[in-house]
Amino acid sequence: MTIPPPTPEVIWSRYADAIITAELEVRACRPSDLAQEIDVLRQLADALARGESSILTLLTKDAMHLCSADCAGVTLLEAAPGESVVFKLVATAGHFADAANRTSPVADTPCGMTLASGKPQLFRYPHRYFPVLSDIFPAATESLVVPIPGVNGPLGTLWVVSQRDTNHFDAEDRRILATLASVAGSALRVERTREELGLRAESAEHQVTLAHEAEVRTDSFIAMLSHELRNPLAPIDAALRTIERLSTGNTAALAATGVAQRQMRRLSRLVDDLLDTTRIRHGKLTVKKEHANLGTIVEDAVASVRADVMRLGQRLVVHQPDAPVMVFGDASRLTQVIANVLSNAVKYTPAERGITLNVEVAPRSDGSSNAVAPSTATITVVDEGVGINSSVLPHVFDLFKQSEDRHRQADGGLGIGLAVVKHLVERHDGTVTISSAGEGLGTTVRVTLPSVPVSVEASTTVASRVAPPTQILLVDDDADSAQALEMLLTLDGHEVRTAFSGPAALQVVQNFDPAVAFIDIGMPGMTGVDLLQHLRTRPNLRATKMIALTGASGTDTQAKLIAEGFTEVCTKPLSPERLYQIIIDDVGHEISKPDQ
């Protein structure tokens, strides 16, 4: 749809007193509530995945709530009779709830001026300057308007209104609205794709093709959303670890960081599961198999839920064989499987009830007593929880499927964890089953995996290694991520320098010779690849290990970056554990790990 030409300068000057966008840069800005924002975006992604038609209404209500506004709305461009273009109010919340489907001209309106400028705008007392708003009551004190992006231009605007003299918007409100506007644009594109599917489907084959295209767009949106949600988690993790280290002996502070870390791990699991669903659908979920000790995998999974078990007063009993049990698989993925099963058990088991995890090794079918012969390992998790209705059991492994009764008793998540579990187990040539005698009678989950001869354990033992203090360069335009990791590494005794752009990094290395440099590939202006070429020309940096940080996880991307000259490629966000491992591998020292 063609947007009307920009408002002439004479009209802009007429409304100069109404436009106060510059005040957003000087007003005190409240801190971000990432947990609340992530929860809202998760619910919107869930609604989009289910194809709900009311997603714009949900989004409008979320905008009003997150920005503490009195009302909010979505206004879209629409062709009126006679080929003119008007604004149509398609979703509202608050005092404007009864104004749905109202139309207004594009010219001489806050929404029209925002689209003409191409960026968010803040207006004060808009009813005094724009006649189209003169009949609005109660009158607006401020109105913050952001464009909704589309493929070929803006689709409309998302706006919030304050009707109180004591409530003013800030830069954080602008950031939140811009994020929600992007979600709205994605939802509109998916919705319009579905509408086109219905209009253009002339045959069953054509309908299937278009439906697949819509599904791919949805998957792409979920993948994009997952990456965006993952990025804040790494700096939050690093910051919490730093606070924990600095709060030794402060019981209240340690308790508070413990709560934050538990919630962060929960968010991380939700985001990872969400991202894994798109990888599964596209066949891109990687499993890197090697010989691993199943006992260690189980211990890591139990550790991930131990804090929640203690907090709820539940009884978690773990039985493992005395002899080591080895499997050939991806240890991190198998830990994810068992942790997901345990997390569900904890989530749906009332306080002070029991959960049992039992590991057994079945003897060989031929009756052999050979200690190193392959056999089958079975991990069974039995809980005394709410159980599962028999009508739901056949569908527990389906994506986005939940029992309504279970959902009412706990935070049900997205209904994707068990689908990921099933896929990962099958990738390890195993099986997973779920049984329950009914509601209120608990649940049993049984995972079977092929085990391998115990004798391979000796070849997989690795020394505990930690890099001694060294020089590290962090280059990332995400200042929060870089600074959080800098604080954590500095506490470990490393000498760390940060730069938020390529040119800034070149200034840093004039007087600094890092042993390892972590470089973000997607920086604006001078990209990470450009920066690498400059760094490689400096004689003092020829031995520096150059690590690429990228949001793309495909093997093609990694191969290209290695060919460009990077030592290694890591997918963002970079967790503290992954950071430590890279430093260990690249610096190549083996010493005892310090207390963390």
Question: Does one domain contain both 253 and 297?
Answer: no
Q: What CATH number does the domain containing 445 carry?
A: 3.30.565.10
Q: Is 363 within the bounds of a domain?
A: yes
The whole-chain average pLDDT of the chain stands at: 80
Question: Does one domain contain both 192 and 218?
Answer: no
Question: Does one domain contain both 516 and 573?
Answer: yes
Q: Is 86 within the bounds of a domain?
A: yes
Question: Does one domain contain both 322 and 264?
Answer: no
Q: Is 115 within the bounds of a domain?
A: yes
Q: Is 594 within the bounds of a domain?
A: no
Q: What CATH number does the domain containing 139 carry?
A: 3.30.450.40
Tokens 């966008």 — which residue?
21
Question: Does one domain contain both 434 and 526?
Answer: no
Amino acid at 181: A
- Residue 486 pLDDT grade (very low, low, confident, very high; cuts 50, 70, 90): confident
Q: Whole-prediction pTM value?
A: 0.45
Domain boundary among 228, 247, 281: 281
For residue 414, the model assigns a pLDDT of: 41
For residue 170, the model assigns a pLDDT of: 94
Question: Does one domain contain both 196 and 208?
Answer: no
Tokens 């509109």 — which residue?
188
Question: Does one domain contain both 222 and 172?
Answer: no
- 488 with 576: CB under 8 angstroms? yes
Tokens 């009508």 — which residue?
391
- 354 with 433: CB under 8 angstroms? no
The domain tally of the chain equals 4
Q: Is 3 within the bounds of a domain?
A: no
Question: Does one domain contain both 169 and 184?
Answer: yes
- Tens of pLDDT, residue by residue over 377-396, are 999 999 999 988 888 888 88
Q: Say which range, 12-26, 204-218, 337-351, has the weakest mean pLDDT.
A: 204-218
Q: Is 303 within the bounds of a domain?
A: yes
Q: What CATH number does the domain containing 247 carry?
A: 1.10.287
- Tens of pLDDT, residue by residue over 78-130, are 886 666 888 888 889 987 766 777 888 888 889 998 998 889 999 999 988 88
Query: HSE on the CB side for 9, CA within 13 Å?
Result: 0
Phi, psi at 545, each rounded to 5°: -80, 120
Distance CA 287, CA 275 (A): 15
Amino acid at 144: L
Q: What CATH number does the domain containing 548 carry?
A: 3.40.50.2300
For residue 335, the model assigns a pLDDT of: 87
- Tens of pLDDT, residue by residue over 135-170, are 777 788 999 999 999 888 899 999 999 999 889 999
Question: Does one domain contain both 183 and 236?
Answer: no
Q: Is 329 within the bounds of a domain?
A: yes
For residue 457, the model assigns a pLDDT of: 45
Domain boundary among 166, 182, 200: 200
Q: In this model, does residue 511 exceed pLDDT 60?
A: yes
For residue 406, the model assigns a pLDDT of: 45
Order of all β-strands in the sheet with 471-475: 495-499, 471-475, 516-520, 545-550, 568-571
Among 218-222, 330-334, 373-377, 430-434, name the most confident range: 430-434
Question: Does one domain contain both 499 and 439?
Answer: no
Domain boundary among 460, 490, 515: 460
Question: Does one domain contain both 376 and 450?
Answer: yes
User: Distance between the two ends of the chain, CA-based, in angstroms?
Assistant: 57
Q: Which two tokens stand for residue 406?
A: 């279970």
Question: Does one domain contain both 370 and 301?
Answer: yes
For residue 177, the model assigns a pLDDT of: 94
**Segment 185-191 mean pLDDT:** 84
Q: Is 567 within the bounds of a domain?
A: yes
Structural domain range at position 352: 290-460
